[in-house]
């Protein structure tokens, strides 16, 4: 058996086409959404993700505003960029690209974003609303995972889901999202300190690998036919981007969201969707 592919690239392209229509309607109503980004430092991956976000904005017809700071930027300079975007009426939502360079306090920076402009759903108030089950912008990768599964008609309600990874952008909020009444999955949150990872993964109908450890999830851990989403990224010795799921897993899984081409493009699509949703709410659409 070879797994069928959850094609995040195709799904994201379809979402961008839908967003283009929604943005045109917003503009007819006199509202132009604008996405801001704060990027600090020289990390090539972060530069490429931010460039992609601005390309998406251009394609969909929304404005975009960049604040790029050098790796030597101080905490005060990063906080100043956040304050400027909070105050800029052309910027209806923005993100601070993570990770920030060592020495900067990311939690403090995220906490200074106006929660109403938090396009990533990572402000503590918005994460708190996710815990409480109140409406709020949702973190992009977890939203992208739910959206991808839904577009492929994969049942989430009642599924046993194992999430591997406890990070703030994926693992922790994904567990909260999937256990809401509307999703109704049963979630086990594993991580690199889990004693017997294989025993947990073997029970799962859906496995989300987001620990950033190359090849952590292997074929022998999987229940045959399981749905596997590879979200982790790390670099191989020759500098190639590699995922958390061993390639041989494709012979056991029923469905696979590969890395690249699976959840990553959905993360980008959900960011623009968050910005458009907020503008629609403000315009009463
Ligand atoms: N503020 C945030 N920072 C980070 C987030 C986030 O959601 N908000 N997530 C990641 C980075 N990220 C978006 O910011 C992101 C990662 C990967 C992709 C993507 O499309 N990946 C491609 C492969 C890319 C390549 O080949 O280089 C794929 O999987 O197909 C998009 C966005 C951490 N930081």
18-60, pLDDT tens digit by residue? 999 999 999 999 999 999 999 999 999 999 999 999 999 999 9
Q: What is the best residue among 98, 239, 269 to mutate for testing ligand 1's pocket, by most ligand atoms within 8 Å of CB?
A: 98
Whether 118 contacts 124, CB under 8 Å: no
Supply φ then ψ for residue 86, to 5 degrees.
-55, -35
Of 56, 120, 230, 246, which residue is the catalytic one? Answer: 120
Q: Is ipTM beyond 0.90?
A: yes
- For residue 228, give the DSSP letter: E
Residue 97 is among the residues annotated as catalytic for this protein = yes
> Rounded CA gap, 71 and 77, in Å?
11
Look at residue 1 and tell me whether its pLDDT is greater than 90: no
Domains of the chain: 26-120 (3.40.50.10860), 140-264 (3.40.50.720)
Q: Specify the residue with its C-alpha closest to ligand 1, atom 33.
A: 98
Tokens 């930027």, residue?
73
Q: Specify the residue with its C-alpha closest to ligand 1, atom 3.
A: 98
Ligand-binding site membership of 165 (annotated): yes
pLDDT of residue 104: 98
- Distance of CA 46 from the midpoint of ligand 1 (Å): 8
Q: 106 exposed, middle or buried (CB, 10 Å; 0-12, 13-18, 19+)?
A: middle
Any ligand 1 atom below 6 A from CB of 170: no
The pTM score is: 0.97
- For residue 102, give the DSSP letter: T
Any ligand 1 atom below 6 A from CB of 83: no
| Strand extents, DSSP E, the chain | 4-5, 34-40, 63-69, 93-96, 160-164, 186-190, 206-209, 227-230, 234-235, 241-242, 255-257
Any ligand 1 atom below 6 A from CB of 167: no
- With bands split at pLDDT 50, 70 and 90, how would you rate the model's confidence at 99? very high
Residue 80 is among the residues annotated as catalytic for this protein = no
């Amino acid at each position: 058996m070879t797994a069928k592919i959850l094609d995040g690239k195709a799904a994201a392209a379809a979402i961008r086409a839908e967003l283009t229509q929604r943005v045109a309607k917003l503009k007819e109503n006199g509202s132009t959404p604008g996405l801001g980004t704060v990027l600090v430092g020289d990390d090539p991956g972060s530069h490429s993700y931010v460039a992609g976000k601005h390309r998406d904005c251009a394609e969909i017809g929304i404005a975009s505003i960049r604040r790029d700071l050098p790796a030597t930027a101080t905490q005060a300079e990063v906080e100043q960029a956040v304050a400027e975007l909070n105050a800029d009426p052309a910027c209806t939502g923005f993100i601070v690209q993570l990770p920030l360079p060592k020495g900067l306090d990311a939690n403090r920076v995220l906490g200074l974003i106006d929660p109403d402009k938090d396009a990533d759903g990572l402000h503590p108030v918005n994460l708190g609303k996710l815990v409480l089950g109140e409406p709020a912008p949702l973190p992009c990768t977890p939203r992208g995972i739910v959206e991808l599964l839904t577009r492929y008609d994969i049942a989430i309600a009642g599924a046993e889901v194992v999430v591997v990874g406890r990070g703030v952008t994926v693992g922790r909020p994904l567990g909260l999202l999937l256990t809401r009444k509307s999703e109704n999955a049963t979630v086990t949150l594993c991580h690199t300190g889990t004693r017997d990872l294989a025993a947990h993964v073997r029970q799962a109908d859906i496995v989300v690998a987001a620990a950033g450890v190359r090849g952590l999830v292997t074929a022998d851990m999987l229940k045959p036919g399981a749905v596997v989403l590879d979200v982790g990224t790390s670099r191989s010795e020759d500098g190639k981007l590699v995922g958390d799921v061993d390639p041989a897993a494709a012979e056991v899984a029923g469905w696979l969201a590969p890395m690249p081409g699976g959840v990553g493009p959905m993360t980008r699509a959900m960011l623009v969707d968050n910005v458009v949703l907020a503008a629609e709410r403000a315009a009463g659409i």
